[in-house]
Amino acid sequence: MTDHCHPNLDTPPPGGFCRTHELNILLLAALYAVSRVLSRSLAFNETLRDVLRVLHDEAGLTRGLIAVVDAESGKLGIHTLYNPDGPQADDAQYGPGEGIIGLVLEKPRTIKLARVADEPRFLNRQGVYQPDLPFIAVPIKAGGDLKGVLAVQPEAPEDGLLEERAQFVEMVANLIGQSLRLAMDVAQEKSSLLEERDLLRRTVRHQFGFDNMVGRSAVMRRVFDQARLVAKWNTTVLIRGETGTGKELIANAIHYNSPRARNALVKLNCAALPENLLESELFGHERGAFTGAVEARKGRFEQAHGGTLFLDEIGEVSAAFQAKLLRILQEGEFERVGGSKTIKVDVRIIAATHRDLETAVDMGDFREDLFYRLNVMPLFLPPLRERIEDIPEIARHLLGKIGGDQKRKLTLTDMAQRRLAQHEWPGNVRELENCLERAAVLSEDGSIDVDLIRFPSSRERSSPKPPRPAGIVAVDPVSGANSMAPPPGEIDIDNPNLSERERVIAALEQAGWVQAKAARILGMTPRQIAYRIQTLNIEVKQF
């Protein structure tokens, strides 16, 4: 836009502006309004009509039309037409050189006409343009390519300022082209992300599909059938079984084959955190709720909204925390730590435990109402020793995984398979995987024979001992004082020479491997001893 008075116009009155200056000020305000409209949203199609409305209301450029190039036909099709008082856009198309719009398609350039009726190729297919008024058509480009045409008609006859108005329309078309290019880039990136997301979903669903889960024994097929049925509903599931039997894999399969698969599967090991951190992890906290809470944080329940929350080792939470957990399971609502606002969530619960919860309820270590709230659909995973026929298939699957990590092919001889089938596998599939990985490391050529299948010694495995006899009264030979000495074969847990692992194992042995009893012997809470069992890699014995 020029900033000087038009030479054919009258001299402005003293202290006033010439008409060119007045138009420039008007168009500058309109240009600012157009830029605000285009920056308001990346939904490009929604903003075009607003741009044409601004040109109509603030720049005196009426009957705005935007035509876009069709990628398949190469023709210009009417996309948006702003004509508040007359006909709206139809599905008219323009080929190269067809009408004034087609002239811009044939040779992208600005066309400005003082009187549109003087152009013989004026078609006026929409029937909205006034023949006696000027007409301006400008190409819209994005990345150097013609993407469309912006056409407008000044609302008054030619007044000598057509050039200024044409320059303004070119600026608007340039802004539209920049916004279009940004919208195209965003759309392409979004399309790529959606394609990647769908691929990942298909991969995960295939990976955790029930048909791909390892195990062909009758007892495992029954578990898979039950999991497949319950996956379709929002029923709470309690997965029970010894450590290492694959409870988390079943939880994955249930979620990724459920209607909630499009939303998150959030996991939390309840035995891995002390109670104060467990509450913050599950429920979240507000800023300043405690030292170090520098900002508000969503908990696992909020993160799992619309999806599934997997609570592993649910049997290890304290009685006080069980009450808080019961409320959200019943009502679906909670408050963040340090907050007073009640938050409602839609979350499916899948819980897992290796504990005998019925015994824990009888002993008062686990709330009965919470047990029944969780035990809606129980799934019992059998230990590996009860499905020996699955060992060859599981071993082949694990060797494929280990071989992938080692980037070589691993094989298992028949003698090695028979050796695996003779073991009791107190650590279940996890112990089998460790055994095979150890054998793979020792194998130079990738073939695993029976001599490479090695199991920990009985001392390393801390196999359970028979119930201990009553304590024996001993007499100190120096002081003559009576003391309770441990029975023969039993380790004194107060012996300062014992490591922490040995003390925990000794307490578990004395308690018959009932963790609640062992915790009382050591002066711990059930969750504390469960955490030590996990961190010290102690295989829990089941009876």
Residue 193 placed within a domain: no
Q: Which residues pair with 240 in a beta bridge?
A: 353, 380
Residue 74 placed within a domain: yes
- Rounded distance between C-alpha atoms, residue 198 and residue 202, angstroms: 6
Do both 401 and 306 map to the same domain?
no
Domain assignment of residue 87, given as a range? 19-186
pLDDT (mean) for 300-307: 94
Express as a percent the part of the chain with pLDDT over 70. 86
The pLDDT assigned to 291 comes to: 79
Do both 391 and 376 map to the same domain?
no
Residue 493: CATH number of its domain: 1.10.10
Q: Residue 15 is encoded by which pair of tokens?
A: 């202290």
Do both 234 and 296 map to the same domain?
yes
- In order, the DSSP letters of 210-247 are GGGSS--SHHHHHHHHHHHHHHTS---EEEE--TTS-H
Do both 389 and 265 map to the same domain?
no
pLDDT (mean) for 119-126: 81
Confidence bin at 511 (pLDDT 50/70/90):
confident
Do both 69 and 173 map to the same domain?
yes
**498 against 342, higher pLDDT:** 342
Residue 503 placed within a domain: yes
Q: CB–CB of 501/482 below 8 Å?
A: no
Do both 212 and 169 map to the same domain?
no
Helices vs strands, H then E, count in the chain: 18, 17
Confidence bin at 517 (pLDDT 50/70/90):
confident
Confidence bin at 22 (pLDDT 50/70/90):
confident
Place of tokens 């990724």: 256
- Rounded distance between C-alpha atoms, residue 230 and residue 269, angstroms: 22
Do both 393 and 413 map to the same domain?
yes
Q: Residue 333 is encoded by which pair of tokens?
A: 């609502």
The pLDDT assigned to 73 comes to: 84
The pLDDT assigned to 230 comes to: 95
Do both 254 and 130 map to the same domain?
no
The pLDDT assigned to 480 comes to: 40
Residue 32 placed within a domain: yes
Q: Residue 521 is encoded by which pair of tokens?
A: 């012997």
Q: Which residues pair with 113 in a beta bridge?
A: 135
- Average pLDDT over the chain, rounded to an integer: 83
Query: Could you tell me which residues come within 8 angstroms of residue 447 by beta carbon, excluding any fewer than 6 positions away?
Result: 410, 411, 413
pLDDT surpasses 60 at 486: no
Q: Residue 365 is encoded by which pair of tokens?
A: 């270590």
pLDDT surpasses 60 at 459: no
Residue 212: CATH number of its domain: 3.40.50.300
Q: CB–CB of 318/527 below 8 Å?
A: yes
Confidence bin at 273 (pLDDT 50/70/90):
confident
Confidence bin at 87 (pLDDT 50/70/90):
low
Alpha-carbon distance values, 213 to 90, 206, 207, 365 (Å): 57, 10, 8, 34
Question: What total of structural domains would you count in the chain?
Answer: 4
Q: CB–CB of 506/493 below 8 Å?
A: yes
Beta pairing, strands 348-353 & 377-380: unpaired
Do both 170 and 40 map to the same domain?
yes
